[in-house]
Structure 1
Amino acid sequence: MNKLLTIVLTIAFVVLSNDVFAQQGTIRGTVIEEATGDPVYGVTILVEGTSTGTTTDFDGKFNLSLTEGDYNLKISYVSYTPVTIEEVGVGSGEVTIIDNIRLQKTVEEMEEVVVTAEMMNISEAAMITTKRKSANMLDGISAERFRTIGDSDAAQALKRVTGVSVEGGKYVYVRGLGDRYTKTMMNSVDIPSLDPDKNSLQIDIFPTNLIDNMIITKTAVAEMPADFTGGIVNIETKDFPDEPIIDVSLSTSYNPSMHFNSGFLGYNGSNTDMLGFDGGTRELPSGANVEGIPTPISGNSEQEVNNFVNSFNSNLGPNELTNPMDLSAGVSLGNQFSVGSDNAFGYILSGTYKRSTSHYDNYRYGEYQRQSNPSEYDLIYATKQNGVVSESNVLLGGLAGLAFKTPNSKYKLTGMHLQNGEDRATSFFIDNSVDAPGQSGYLADSYNLEYSERGVTNFLLNGVHYFDNAMWEVNWRISPTFSTMNDPDIRRTAYTRSPNGPRFNAGAGGFPSRIWRYMDEMNVVNRVDITRDYQLFGSGAKFKTGGSYVYKERDYEILKYDMQFFGAIPTLTGDPSEILQPENIYPNGSIYYQSGNPDPNPNAYSSNVSNTSFYLSNEFNLFQNLKTSLGLRVENYVQRHTGRDALFAQGDPSGNNLDNEKVLDSFDFFPSANLTYFLTDRQNLRVSYSRTIARPSFKELSFAQILDPVSDRIFNGGLFSIDQWEGNLTETRIHNFDTRWEMFFNQGQLLSLSLFYKSFDDPIELVRIQAQQTSSEFQPRNVGDGEVFGAEFEFRKNLGFITESLQYFGLSSNVTIVESIIDMTEQEFRSRKNFEKEGQNVNDKRQMAGQAPYIINAGISYDNPEIGLDGGLFYNVQGETLTVVGGSLFPDVYTEPFHNLRLNMNKSLGSNASVNLSVSNLLNETRAEYYQGYRADKQIFSKYKPHTTVSLGFKYSF
């Protein structure tokens, strides 16, 4: 206790003594080994001509406090070539950063290396060295690169990494593989998504000034989780800011086709909507969560029925408003202090707020079918929808971190909360065809009011300990995450058009309905890693071992209420605001609500996962130029489920009912081998093999039926037995083979070519249920074995070699090309063969769903530090991708390429301020998904136009 009190008082003294502290400045830096990219422990840093100096800690970092002036630093370590850094300026109360001082092993008598501080600070040496010397194949982007290109958040920055695409501005896909095969981690710990239907966390919430680096692992190593295939994106946040951070940023965006639109749809929500959560306006009425709610036929009094209906919000339709421009703001604070002579304390605080609106006045959905006649090629529609979609989105985020370092240990505690609220109002015209099988044929006007609030709270307690002069490292992490998702009071109202005016028709547009959805999830990760540096075959080697225990638990429930009529349906005009008027509610009128929630509820489930893992790996040089990394990971994965299907919920004992029963139970071995042959000091040839896995999500391995109230499409959990599917959804096991040739040049320039092959056993894809013709229903299924063949090409080149006037310009591009093949199941092949058209020859192979055939990233950049101006023109596109697997009457659905051209410019305004201008979707492209059939015109599955957005941002650093 006394020691803790001493530390607290010391910190307080340092913080409060600004006048004394301001008399001196600080030099901070990092020393890494050129050959490995690893930090070097115990390096001597001496101020030339004095006896003042220090040594690096286990992170390779050092800290020097000096009076104002210019200094030369001598960097020396036994068996390494000395380095002198000249012209290091120190200002009173300021911090001077010297990034990535690289030491080379002394092979022969070499002269001392002399560089200037300016030269040290403009290189991206650490990331390039890490990429060049890593045991496995990876790509990444560093904090230093963020400063150069001016990207404000992680999503923008990752678009520049080879083989990476960012969907919807927030979800990362690697090598064109869908969300299922990409994993997002923060500080090497699993972080669940804000969206329960996604693997990947929304990464646009991370400001780049709090990120140390982002590494995309493309080939597996034993210490990483096995449930990825395309890549693992690991976001490392800063724990010790090298310099004080007090940043404030403001930005706004304007889309001429969306903002200040008088036709924007909205409704009166909650006073707390602006903070990303509902304040109670939309909460479920008291007594509604039981099966026997008050109805005219349940024995309740008339007043009880009337009171119950009136306890629901009476607003069922949107109003027209005028929406503002988008706005975002952020603040970041951080610093580190010396505590005593050998300890250091650091902190980081960050808050972000984003509020945006979107308005699409020609949003379209379609349901199309093949014709049964083999000579009829055109697709016919079952349902077409066209209308207006208006959305308001709020994202509120906070991150706080504390770190404490001693000579042999480092402790880090971080807490993060993200709160997201999305308000959605729609108005659609529905055209249902009488000519399509299973359809009744009607016209209707549909209105939807939706609200979704999602929250993620994560804590990380991390400790790193070094022993025996940093030859032993023990790294442990404990990280609980708590996620919630509430979709309160989703309201759908559809007026069926008739010769006598608008009316409610259960067999056509349907009766008004309301839905509440709830989800709570807990995710606890415990992990320990032990590393031993030693000598093998005459060179340095690393032995690693460790394990983890991950526990996840989710509770999910859907409650539905349908409007019914006890007597005649009231006369209607088509205005949703008229429906729940007092004169229409029982007993004055005929309206009452009926529960669609039997007990037990088929749309309620509880699931949990226990994943225990252990690994061993060894990294060594088998020969002088051949780095070898061999590893084996073992995972024991058990998933349990409590839930039932609709048949059992209706009282039929032949239905399925599970009570905490195992639905997945696997004990798997995941070997990995990574070989790197150093052709030259700057040229590598890599070969890799690994075995990985993709597992179904909680939602997929359930009996849940989830309705999208706008598109009217239904997701069915994979445990349902329907349409020759036995409900036996299982994991996908993948074998991965990779090779890469890479060459590195000065100033971050590089050239690389990669080839990869992946084989999939039982891949999971979203399939259109063929037996359901009256409704549009989809289900995740194992579809047959698959293969992926791919190639990646990347280059970064400064254009100064053409002429000196182009020295500030750079050209970069990375291209990924993929061929994917699925061997269809016998059922899918027969369903396609039965609807074969004249002249068509259906075979038993097709493209893999979710796998893009190509990704292209290209850009030309300008970076002139002398005038503080940088920016560029950047292009990204992903090829036509199979999205939904069809069969029988239903054609496949493909996502169209979206050619995204973006302009970004950053200008420094003195040393403390900067302004950013960006223009996205310069080509005014449309986002669309289409049905495709043999010799048929493609037809719309979904389509909308985001238009062009101009953003202006300002940042000030105190």
Structure 2
Amino acid sequence: MFIANLCAVKQVKMYKQQNFLRHFLFLFFFSLLSFQAFCGVIKGTIVDKKTREPLFGATIQVAGTAFGTVADREGRYTLNVDTGTYTLIVKFVGYQDLIREGVKVAENQEIHFELEPDTETLDEVKVTARKNLENERVLQVERQNATIAIENMGAKEMSLKGISNVEEGVKKITGISVANAGQLIVRGLGDRYSTTTLNGLPIASPNPDNKLIPLDLFPSATVKNITVSKVYAVQSFADYSGAHIDIGTKVHTGEDFFSVGMNVGGVFNTLGKDFYYSDREGSLLKTGNIDSKYLDMPYSSFEEKVKEKDIFGTSFVIEKKTALPDFSGNVGWGKSFGKLNVLLSMGAGNEKQILKDAFVKQFTAQGRVLNMFRYNSYITKFKIAALAGLSYTFRHSDYLNYSLFYARNAIDEFMERDGFDSEGVTLRGSNSVYHAYSLLNNQLSGHHEWGERWELNWAGSYGMTGSDEPDRRQVMFRKNEETGKLSLFLLNQQETMRYFGELDENEMVGDVKVAYRFGEKNRLHFGATYKRKTRDFRCASFYYNLDNLPSPEIFNIYDTDSYLNFENVANGNILIKRSYQPRNRYKAESKAYAAFAEVDFFPFPTLLINIGVRYEQVNQSVDYFDDGSIKRKSELKNGDIFPALNIKYTIGERNSLRFAVSRTVTRPAFVEMAPFLYRESYGSAAIRGNAAIQNGYNINVDLRYDLFSKKNNDMFSATLYFKQLNDPIERVQEAEGGSAVHTFRNSKNGIAMGVEVEMRKEVFKNFRLGLNGSYMYTDVKLPKDGGIYTDNQRALQGASPYLINADISYAPYLRGGDDRMILALVYNVQGPRIHSVGIFGLGDNKQLTLHTLDWVGSYSLGRHWSFKLTVKDLLNSKVRFRQDVPQINDKLEVEAFRPGTNAEIGFTYKF
């Protein structure tokens, strides 16, 4: 039987662990055979004495017999014995053994145990499988004893704080925020400076403009823990200076279970309101991309075909309904078959949100309004995720794991706009966007030990990610200011159009790591990794020429089927022109070969020196067509050495001082290294890569102090960091053909520095406070010919100078420990940050300081029922953006909207 806590921790004194494992497996084997009709039953809970946290995996044994059992995820146990008087022994790794004598058993006896941490034992714990931990106490032990500085969050803490997915979880970690489009900002460094792995293996992003996969793809129901490392370790790829975020998925290791959960809720400003949505082919489970044959056929054939058949299957009609509550559900099943463990989990849900009376403006450098649109946005989301896991244990501590993870996020948005453009024309607009992200990832890994010195870990994965934007639609209407009558806006053919885009990316990874122990604590690690990633992207636009269409009578922007229909296409009143040029597609590939070696060395018991080096050979290439449809190839080949030094000095029993210094790399993305004009979607910025782009290299220095409590989860941590960015890659804007085009350059240099503080404190029993905050300073210098930017020196885009997270929780056990209530308030403040960089004499457009406050309440009734109520954004905060206009010495508001307060109530039943 694969047991999480025994796989998660490793006693330095090997003979003690082997005896404990042998004894535990022996007890558990006999407990599985105890189906005979015993006359007596002992049941209850095993928890941490101070924190009252359930000790999943704790054992209880009848002294002098082979009868015993294991506590489940809630710390509950049931032991069948004959009537009589017994001595019970309760054990858990890292805690003092508890012996209770003279326990009299008649028919049913309920006994609850509270274990105290064993200070001496915890000091000897070495974490070797942190991915399988979710208990907060054990995660803190891992954090305290880890070779490099880490921060982590387990499933228990995520549940307490009402966190529904990984993106919400990482925002609660010190120095991390999420900017627009889901881009992660770590210590002021943007998306390109961080990396994401799934169970320790790299995972590709379906978004061509982001390096990191959208973290809201991973619901908390499938996640065991999140581990964040902001210092570099040579066992990982060196392409991060911000953070390495590892998402550990759940593995069944405990009591068999089957659970079902349901949730219902919604946003207050959306429930019961009129909700508009665009015509859709099928449900949000269907992507509905255009048939490839209509893109690949000759243009003359397309012109004829589009008149014969409605190739799109959807119209420009906008329908209305009443916004009903959001629903979500999940089901989980875990079972052990001897040494084989199986876990299945699946969840799905929908969300609706209205952004009402929002607006966006653009100004000239003199402060005059260039254009302004008010808008209402109606957003529907459908999310589904599924996890299947198999684990097989053999010998004493060898095991094999297989996991299959699938996720899909579909976002359908209709936006109605009302305002005027830069020519002063009053307009109304209908915009429909449907975007679907998908991920399918397979992983197989193994852990093997030979004697007390040798250890082998190997893993392989194959993942497929997709990003589809099928059938983005736009219709613009001209509005008569005097009469209010609408007419089709015929300035150019792009005012009525469709857009299709699809991206497919495959990634294969193979990884082998070997460890050799010498001395009492010293270790030598070495290994190798291979990674290959391929991408295919293409997009097409379809423009509607309406010049031959008789002027229709238009009453609103929703009912368009009387004139924007297939009948008018078939009779030639509407001409559809396809724009699908060679430059609308590209293929890319990246191959990485890496090897590393490092040593953990203790010159004396309180000083750990970790020194390592990694070599990476990375070959990237992009096959594309330039503006003249000539086939080109852009390549970037580099072989680099990345050293890292981590020093940990332990002061007393619970104090430690850490120092880290390393060299890392920032590599350009595929679309950044090829000079073809690219637009991810209609309406987004035009992007042109740069064939001369090169890697950027970074020097990272961290100094950290940690203080951990002896008795509970109280802790204090403070960190100083400094990063020197050499040749950093920056997104800049240039003028091209009278419009702004984004491109990429290596800037001269940049720096990021700051301080981080984290604290957790139990004020009194079951009442806890948590606080973390960071202050950051960032600066980047652009080349003298830095394009059309107003300033050539500024803070990094997306970086907030300060971030604060705070939480208050009260989590008592009731009815003798059978029930548990959790009440929590979770607060976040995000300082002002650059949303978009100022150009053409305008200053930076900044998102202003944002405050949010969430409330979480839950109640576990016995071992079967649990209920939960979550209210997010109690403050109903307004998101505001303000533009600096230097010529008039003023700051003008350019956009504002309220996402709205969201409430959700749910229940879970465990069989």
TM-score range, shorter chain: 0.7 to 0.9
Tell me if structure 1 keeps the 8 A contact 2:161–2:826. no
Residue by residue over 1:900-924, the C-alpha shift from the partner in whole angstroms, topping out at 9 and shown as x without a partner, is 1111111122332111111111111
Q: For 1:363, what is the secondary structure of its paired residue? A: strand
Q: Post-superposition shift, 1:690? A: 1.2
Moved more, 310-319 or 739-748: 310-319
Task: Please say if 1:365 is aligned against 2:330.
Answer: no
Task: Please say if 1:714 is aligned against 2:675.
Answer: no
Tell me if structure 2 keeps the 8 A contact 1:629–1:675. yes
Partner of 2:35: 20
Residue by residue over 1:725-780, the C-alpha shift from the partner in whole angstroms, topping out at 9 and shown as x without a partner, is xx42333321110001111113100111110001112323333334464x454334
Q: For 1:888, what is the secondary structure of its paired residue? A: coil
Match of 2:706 among 721, 742, 748: 742
Query: d(CA) in 1 for partners of 2:104 and 2:585?
Result: 64
Task: Please say if 1:950 is aligned against 2:903.
Answer: yes
Match of 2:120 among 104, 108, 114: 104
Task: Please say if 1:824 is aligned against 2:782.
Answer: yes
Q: For 2:529, what is the secondary structure of its paired residue? A: strand
Query: d(CA) in 2 for partners of 1:483 and 1:368?
Result: 39
Q: For 2:561, what is the secondary structure of its paired residue? A: helix
What's the Cα RMSD here?
Answer: 3.9
Q: For 1:938, what is the secondary structure of its paired residue? A: strand
Query: d(CA) in 2 for partners of 1:89 and 1:880?
Result: 64
Task: Please say if 1:657 is aligned against 2:657.
Answer: no
Residue by residue over 1:161-197, the C-alpha shift from the partner in whole angstroms, topping out at 9 and shown as x without a partner, is 3333356897754334332223221210112235443
Tell me if structure 1 keeps the 8 A contact 2:601–2:610. yes
Moved more, 540-549 or 482-491: 482-491
Tell me if structure 2 keeps the 8 A contact 1:525–1:548. yes
Query: d(CA) in 2 for partners of 1:420 and 1:350?
Result: 17
Change (3 A) 1:672 1:567: same
Counterpart AA for 1:783: S
Tell me if structure 2 keeps the 8 A contact 1:369–1:381. yes
Q: For 1:242, what is the secondary structure of its paired residue? A: coil
Task: Please say if 1:292 is aligned against 2:306.
Answer: no
Counterpart AA for 2:785: Q
Partner of 1:3: none
Query: d(CA) in 2 for partners of 1:239 and 1:93?
Result: 32
Q: Post-superposition shift, 1:848? A: 1.1
Change (3 A) 1:928 1:638: farther
Tell me if structure 2 keeps the 8 A contact 1:29–1:100. no
Q: For 2:204, what is the secondary structure of its paired residue? A: coil
Match of 1:590 among 564, 573, 581: 573
Query: d(CA) in 1 for partners of 2:616 and 2:417?
Result: 48
Partner of 1:438: none
Change (3 A) 1:122 1:446: closer
Change (3 A) 1:701 1:369: farther
Tell me if structure 2 keeps the 8 A contact 1:496–1:509. no
Match of 1:856 among 804, 821, 828: 804
Counterpart AA for 2:643: P
Tell me if structure 1 keeps the 8 A contact 2:62–2:68. no
Moved more, 235-244 or 900-909: 235-244
Task: Please say if 1:910 is aligned against 2:905.
Answer: no
Query: d(CA) in 2 for partners of 1:592 and 1:153?
Result: 45
Query: d(CA) in 1 for partners of 2:294 and 2:464?
Result: 27
Partner of 1:689: 661
Q: Post-superposition shift, 1:519? A: 1.0
Partner of 1:789: 753
Change (3 A) 1:527 1:255: same
Counterpart AA for 1:403: S
Partner of 2:716: 751
Q: Post-superposition shift, 1:402? A: 0.5
Change (3 A) 1:48 1:604: same
Tell me if structure 1 keeps the 8 A contact 2:90–2:97. yes
Q: Post-superposition shift, 1:383? A: 2.7
Partner of 1:554: 535
Query: d(CA) in 2 for partners of 1:89 and 1:196?
Result: 66
Residue by residue over 1:405-432, the C-alpha shift from the partner in whole angstroms, topping out at 9 and shown as x without a partner, is 0014200111111122221212112411
Query: d(CA) in 2 for partners of 1:593 and 1:584?
Result: 11
Change (3 A) 1:122 1:222: closer
Q: Post-superposition shift, 1:255? A: 1.8
Tell me if structure 1 keeps the 8 A contact 2:331–2:345. yes
Please give the residue correspondences for 1:422-571 in structure 2 after superposition, counting only pairs within 5 Å: 422-434=411-423, 441-469=424-452, 471-497=453-479, 502-505=486-489, 507=491, 510-535=494-519, 539-565=520-546, 567=548, 570-571=551-552
Query: d(CA) in 2 for partners of 1:604 and 1:953?
Result: 45
Counterpart AA for 1:608: E
Change (3 A) 1:636 1:102: farther
Counterpart AA for 2:140: I
Residue by residue over 1:551-576, the C-alpha shift from the partner in whole angstroms, topping out at 9 and shown as x without a partner, is 10010001111112575664453653
Counterpart AA for 1:728: A
Query: d(CA) in 1 for partners of 2:835 and 2:110?
Result: 54
Moved more, 80-89 or 748-757: 80-89
Query: d(CA) in 1 for partners of 2:793 and 2:201?
Result: 38
Counterpart AA for 1:399: L
Partner of 2:8: none
What residue ranges of structure 1 are gaps of 5+ in the alignment?
1-13, 31-42, 57-62, 109-120, 339-343, 372-378, 435-440, 650-655, 720-726, 801-806, 836-841
Query: d(CA) in 2 for partners of 1:98 and 1:868?
Result: 15
Partner of 2:836: 884
Identity %: 22
Match of 1:629 among 598, 607, 610: 610
Residue by residue over 1:40-90, the C-alpha shift from the partner in whole angstroms, topping out at 9 and shown as x without a partner, is xxx99994641538999xxxxxx998747975337699xx99844558999
Query: d(CA) in 2 for partners of 1:768 and 1:718?
Result: 11
Tell me if structure 2 keeps the 8 A contact 1:217–1:233. yes
Residue by residue over 1:4-60, the C-alpha shift from the partner in whole angstroms, topping out at 9 and shown as x without a partner, is xxxxxxxxxx9xx99938969999999xxxxxxxxxxxx99994641538999xxxx
Counterpart AA for 2:398: S
Task: Please say if 1:268 is aligned against 2:279.
Answer: yes
Query: d(CA) in 1 for partners of 2:528 and 2:42?
Result: 40
Query: d(CA) in 2 for partners of 1:505 and 1:145?
Result: 54
Moved more, 442-451 or 89-98: 89-98
Tell me if structure 2 keeps the 8 A contact 1:363–1:944. yes
Change (3 A) 1:175 1:67: farther
Match of 2:140 among 125, 128, 132: 128
Query: d(CA) in 2 for partners of 1:123 and 1:945?
Result: 36
Query: d(CA) in 2 for partners of 1:754 and 1:390?
Result: 42
Query: d(CA) in 1 for partners of 2:184 and 2:196?
Result: 8
Residue by residue over 1:301-340, the C-alpha shift from the partner in whole angstroms, topping out at 9 and shown as x without a partner, is xxx56315x43446114222222221111111113343xx
Query: d(CA) in 2 for partners of 1:27 and 1:634?
Result: 55
Partner of 2:733: 768
Q: Post-superposition shift, 1:886? A: 2.8
Counterpart AA for 2:439: V
TM-score (norm 1): 0.80
Tell me if structure 1 keeps the 8 A contact 2:697–2:726. yes
Change (3 A) 1:89 1:206: farther
TM-score (norm 2): 0.84
Tell me if structure 2 keeps the 8 A contact 1:849–1:885. yes
Please give the residue correspondences for 1:630-649 in structure 2 after superposition, counting only pairs within 5 Å: 630-646=611-627, 648-649=628-629
Please give the residue correspondences for 1:183-332 in structure 2 after superposition, counting only pairs within 5 Å: 183-208=195-220, 210-262=222-274, 264-273=275-284, 276-278=285-287, 280=288, 283-284=290-291, 287-294=294-301, 306-308=307-309, 310-313=310-313, 315-332=315-332
Partner of 2:383: 395
Query: d(CA) in 2 for partners of 1:619 and 1:145?
Result: 31
Query: d(CA) in 2 for partners of 1:859 and 1:127?
Result: 19
Q: For 1:306, what is the secondary structure of its paired residue? A: helix
Change (3 A) 1:937 1:362: farther
Residue by residue over 1:599-645, the C-alpha shift from the partner in whole angstroms, topping out at 9 and shown as x without a partner, is xx211000010011110010111233211100111111111111022
Moved more, 814-823 or 912-921: 912-921
Change (3 A) 1:847 1:552: same
Query: d(CA) in 1 for partners of 2:693 and 2:60?
Result: 63
Partner of 2:369: 381
